[in-house]
Chain A
Amino acid sequence: MLNKWLDKLAENTTRNHARLTSRRGLLQKLGFFLMGISVYPLVPVFRNSAFAEKASKIAEGGDPNGCNYWRHGAIDGFLCGCCGGSVTSCPPGTVVSDITWIGTCRNPEDGRDYVISYNDCCGKSACGNCLCQRDEGDTPVYRPQNSNNLNWCSGSQADVPYHCSLSVVIGVKQQATS
């Protein structure tokens, strides 16, 4: 009696299931899922709200991937723009370090001094492209407040592995009133 009832239940459930689902449905869903995970890190979305910079009104000139670009005054490392990221965003697979070195750079286009945050991108081994070492305003490590010769990645979730550096505009110096 009970066996028969169980048989019936199993049969009905299986038949119902077969009727309601397509045979290729699972393959399709699995395919989407696998494809999705592999493509997700490549989607160019803004991943971090750490940056104050807006699509800017700042007058721009020069090549952001060259060491002489105006924002890279105190840069010491690999430019993220040459590593799969940009001058303001980390390459896929790395995280930005919140703790950072901050200085000012003069923009030759408008002659004003901008506050630049040199955040490091962390979590992968050194990028190796576009090494720049301008170090303007850098002080020796015995004045740590203004020394850029530290691994800022030790202040990030990814900890020590350093990949590349950003140059993010976070403010503008007030001009001396004339």
Chain B
Amino acid sequence: MNSLSKILLLMLASPVLATEPAQFDYMMNCQGCHLPNGEGFPAHQVPAVKDHLGKFLHVEGGRQFLIQVPGSAQSDLSDEKLTSVINWMLTTFSPNELPESFSPYTAEEVGHLRQDPLIDVKGIRAKLITRIERLASKEWMQNTEAAL
């Protein structure tokens, strides 16, 4: 039997394809509010993940924040599952914002970070966003200077 007919047979044997495990965990724990494409609902205070998530990894404290934020730290997911969900979200929803030196989270790191939850979530988030904006404007200035 050649491989093509094996694949066909497999497809017939399992009529419904399973959802990828990290995406399944995203669906069960995050998607209800952050929506299937991660665009969130900023008008109703659900932050957009899409095209934003990776920006946090550029500034000091951002890498920790993504795990310490209540939606991550207090989810029902185990450390291993939370790790694969956050790595899946970063590479799926925000690949263009990832720093070149991006190294995926490890379960050990995640387990350690979520032991230390945030008290002032909004305040810290605002501070990180200011840092991100400052970094973006600095880069823009540098780029313009280089262009001149």
Query: Interface residues, chain A, CB within 8 Å of chain B?
Result: 50, 52, 57-59, 98-104, 110, 112, 115, 117, 145-146, 154-155, 170-175
Contact = CB atoms under 8 A, between A and B. Distances in A.
A140 B18 CA distance: 30
Contact of B44 (A145, A155, A173): A155
Interface of B: 15-21, 23-24, 27-29, 31-33, 35-36, 41, 44, 46, 71, 74-76
A145 B29 contact: yes
A54 to B, nearest CB: 11
B41 A174 contact: no
28 contacts: A50-B36, A58-B16, A100-B32, A101-B32, A102-B27, A102-B28, A102-B32, A103-B28, A115-B19, A115-B24, A115-B27, A117-B31, A145-B29, A145-B71, A145-B74, A155-B33, A155-B41, A155-B44, A170-B31, A171-B19, A172-B16, A172-B17, A172-B19, A173-B18, A173-B19, A173-B24, A174-B20, A174-B21
A102 B27 CA distance: 7
B27 A171 contact: yes
Contact of A115 (B15, B28, B76): B28
A156 B16 CA distance: 30
Contact of A57 (B15, B19, B20, B29): B15
B35 A145 contact: no
A98 B31 CA distance: 10
